[in-house]
A and B are shown apart, each in its own frame.
Chain A
Amino acid sequence: MSGTPVRKRKRHKHNLAGYAFLAPWLIGLFAFTLIPMVYSLYLSLTKFNLLTAPQWIGFENYVRLFSDERYLQSVRVTLIYVVTSVPLKLAAALLVAVALNRGLKALGFYRATFYLPSLLGASVAVSVMWRQIFSREGLLNQFLGIFGVQGSDWIGDPRYAIWTLVALSAWQFGTPMLIFLAGLKQLPQDLYEAAAIDGAGKVTTFFRITLPLLSPMVFFNLVLETINAFQTFTPAYVVSGGLGGPIDSTLLYTLYLYLKGFGSMQMGYASAMAWVLFAVIGLFTAVYFWSARKWVNYAD
């Protein structure tokens, strides 16, 4: 295209306009993300209570984490929560998406209704409702009572409390369901016709055709939901009355971080916790991406 050297254009046509339009985001990026990240890394190496200047203590906060029983408990609770709630949620999402993907007349109604809990699930109100459902006189025990089963106080029992949170997470399968549903619509119908001619059953078809073709969506949802699960706060806070009880059985990571940082104002310590969480989420994501080569099927 370019003719004489005189007419040689700059490689980027819109440098000035580009950066003008980008300026708000760029300023925000530095002010609210990059600078705070660096500042947080610094704070994690200090003792800091907001009112007096940070006091340098090196890696002491990180070392202390490993001898903090409550911290280790919060790590255990969080890992249990993540590795159970994410697969459960995705399985429910996939199952319902496949069930919906058969040309139902009422698809719009089903989609919207199944999606509603996802939209409201993070609210305090839904957590309050959840507390009532699983309390001793709650809805679940009344339901069990019909069959003569005496339910326990699910929220108040340290053996069960975390599972009420897992159930609350699974209840919100609407978002991944919508993503699966969009993926299912794209699948080539001829493969299914070929499978039917070959006499493949429903289950075989699902595992040999649907699931492999849908694996990019599974991967996407897995990454997204894992990151979300690690960050869960509101239900643990509301259901446990803000303390992570009974006996720390619902002390999710972010709740403990909140209690340390804003409850007892140990902001250096809480910053160290935030950086460990950041590293763990990064690790999970890296493992997903590394393993994706083995099981995610990118067509063509």
Chain B
Amino acid sequence: MRTKGNHWRAHALLLLVLVAMIYPMVWLVGASFKPENQIFTTMNPLPLVFTFANYVNGWTATGTSFTVYLSNSLTVSIATVIANVASCSVAAYAFARLDFAFRKFWFAVMLGTMMLPFQATLIPQYAIFYQLNWINTFLPLVVPYLLAYDAFFIFLMVQFIRGIPRELDEAAALDGAGHVRVFFSIVLPLMRPALITTTILTFIWTFNDFLRQLVYLSDHARYTAPLGLNAFVDRASGSSYGGMLAMSVVTLVPTVAVFLAAQRRIVDGVATTGIK
């Protein structure tokens, strides 16, 4: 039976784990506002002397401004989101609603690609994009998503569409609506929650992606935020911790902002499903 004592102990344990997990991030933010010589002198995350110097110095420390890196990251992420949402929703509609030959076979293939390690295609893809002269452009990062490269989101949307009552599209079909109209005016509006989830996850995953951007982008003018930060770490290698930590915070801000905005949605979702 659940007693008050147990609740109390569970709370204490959870809070302890929570503090241990979050502490490094709080420290990171605090340290980014400390003068260089006070960063490693105390565990206290609060700066005794508050300074923006790390941000000012760090912003242009690699020779290219973080404004460039951040806007490149935003360009890539937003383009990927649009491409991914559009292409995956179209494929998901086919899998969830249309009856065509070999549908089950293709569905199995689609699930199989989710298990595929990306290393298996990394080198041949690079060789192909190299032949196309696409190296050091954003095309190798975005174009695959125009063609529903990430099957995870197709699967997510298929699951969602299956939960939408068929009567709605059948009624529309009886009224003479074709598949294109049913898709755009019935299914797409109803799958908004799945589209939002896809948007949020695609944005955060793309923004934080490193290996693919590291491989394809070679010019500082094309560098994204993770590459800019990495270049900073390479260059600073121990000399400018303050700037390094400040720019780490800068590259985390967009994803944390999206998370905080979407987090309310999570809480709302929980409330509507009646879970305490």
Using a CB–CB cutoff of 8 Å, the interface residues on chain A facing chain B are: 11-15, 17-22, 24-29, 31-33, 35-37, 39-40, 43, 48, 50, 96, 99-100, 102-105, 107-108, 110-114, 116-117, 119-120, 122-126, 128-130, 132-133, 137-139, 142-143, 171, 185, 196, 227, 230-231, 233-234, 237-238, 241-242, 254, 257-258, 261-262, 267, 270-271, 273-275, 277-278, 281, 285
Task: Assess the B210–A25 pair: CB atoms within 8 A.
Answer: no
Task: Assess the B121–A40 pair: CB atoms within 8 A.
Answer: yes
Known: A21-B91, A119-B259, A277-B119. A43 touches B124 (CB 8 A): yes
Task: Assess the B148–A14 pair: CB atoms within 8 A.
Answer: no
Query: In this complex, which of A21, A110, A234, A262 has the most chain B Cβ atoms within 10 angstroms of its Cβ?
Result: A21
Which residues of A are found within 8 Å of B90, using beta-carbon distances? 21, 24-25
- Among B42, B115, B205, B229, point to the contact of A128 (Cβ < 8 A): B229
Task: Assess the A139–B27 pair: CB atoms within 8 A.
Answer: yes
Which residues of A are found within 8 Å of B233, using beta-carbon distances? 124, 128, 238, 241
Known: A40-B123, A171-B21. A123 touches B252 (CB 8 A): yes
Q: In this assembly, does B179 line the interface, its C-beta being within 8 Å of a C-beta of chain A?
A: yes
Known: A241-B234, A267-B127. A25 touches B121 (CB 8 A): no
User: Restricting to B238-265, which residues have a CB under 8 Å from any CB of A?
Assistant: 241, 244-245, 248-249, 251-252, 255-256, 259, 263
Q: In this assembly, does B106 line the interface, its C-beta being within 8 Å of a C-beta of chain A?
A: yes
Range of interface residues on B (Cβ < 8 Å): 35 or more
Q: In this assembly, does B108 line the interface, its C-beta being within 8 Å of a C-beta of chain A?
A: no
Task: Assess the B237–A241 pair: CB atoms within 8 A.
Answer: yes
Which residues of B are found within 8 Å of A113, using beta-carbon distances? 18, 21-22
- Among B101, B147, B208, B266, point to the contact of A27 (Cβ < 8 A): B147
Which residues of A are found within 8 Å of B95, using beta-carbon distances? 22
Q: List 28 A-B contacts (CB under 8 A).
A: A12-B100, A20-B179, A24-B91, A28-B148, A29-B110, A33-B116, A36-B124, A40-B121, A43-B123, A96-B14, A102-B6, A110-B18, A112-B259, A112-B267, A122-B209, A123-B255, A139-B27, A231-B117, A231-B118, A233-B211, A234-B211, A238-B233, A241-B233, A254-B211, A257-B119, A267-B126, A277-B119, A278-B116
- Among A25, A241, A277, point to the contact of B87 (Cβ < 8 A): A25
Q: What are the 3 tightest A-B residue pairs by CB atom distance, in nearest-first order?
A: A28-B147, A18-B100, A21-B94
Which residues of A are found within 8 Å of B244, using beta-carbon distances? 128
Known: A100-B14, A111-B266. A32 touches B149 (CB 8 A): yes
Nearest-CB distance from B271 to chain A (Å)?
8
8 further A-B contacts with Cβ under 8 Å, apart from A32-B125, A231-B117, are A14-B179, A15-B100, A96-B14, A120-B252, A124-B208, A125-B229, A267-B123, A274-B123
- Among B109, B148, B249, point to the contact of A125 (Cβ < 8 A): B249
Query: In this complex, which of A120, A128, A242, A278 has the most chain B Cβ atoms within 10 angstroms of its Cβ?
Result: A128
Task: Assess the A108–B94 pair: CB atoms within 8 A.
Answer: no
Q: In this assembly, does B174 line the interface, its C-beta being within 8 Å of a C-beta of chain A?
A: no
Quick one: CB contact mask for B26-41 with A, threshold 8 Å, 1 for yes?
A: 0110010000000010
Which residues of A are found within 8 Å of B17, using beta-carbon distances? 96, 114
Task: Assess the A112–B103 pair: CB atoms within 8 A.
Answer: no
Q: In this assembly, does B193 line the interface, its C-beta being within 8 Å of a C-beta of chain A?
A: no
A24 to B149, CA, bound (A): 9
Known: A102-B10, A120-B255. A22 touches B215 (CB 8 A): no
Task: Assess the A25–B91 pair: CB atoms within 8 A.
Answer: yes
Chain B, Cβ-Cβ closest to A273: B119
A104 to B18, CA, bound (A): 15
Which residues of A are found within 8 Å of B52, using beta-carbon distances? none
Nearest-CB distance from B125 to chain A (Å)?
5
Which residues of B are found within 8 Å of A285, using beta-carbon distances? 115
Chain B, Cβ-Cβ closest to A15: B100
User: Restricting to B165-182, which residues have a CB under 8 Å from any CB of A?
Assistant: 178-179
Chain B, Cβ-Cβ closest to A42: B124
- Among B43, B87, B251, B255, point to the contact of A142 (Cβ < 8 A): B43
Task: Assess the A102–B2 pair: CB atoms within 8 A.
Answer: yes
- Among B7, B27, B122, B248, point to the contact of A102 (Cβ < 8 A): B7
Nearest-CB distance from B183 to chain A (Å)?
8
Nearest-CB distance from A189 to chain B (Å)?
12
Chain A, Cβ-Cβ closest to B103: A18
- Among B11, B118, B127, B245, point to the contact of A39 (Cβ < 8 A): B127
Task: Assess the A125–B251 pair: CB atoms within 8 A.
Answer: yes
A143 to B179, CA, bound (A): 62
Which residues of A are found within 8 Å of B28, using beta-carbon distances? 129, 132
A281 to B210, CA, bound (A): 22
Task: Assess the A25–B127 pair: CB atoms within 8 A.
Answer: no
Which residues of A are found within 8 Å of B24, using beta-carbon distances? 129-130, 133, 139
Task: Assess the A33–B91 pair: CB atoms within 8 A.
Answer: no
A238 to B6, CA, bound (A): 42
Which residues of B are found within 8 Å of A20, using beta-carbon distances? 179
Q: In this assembly, does B270 line the interface, its C-beta being within 8 Å of a C-beta of chain A?
A: yes
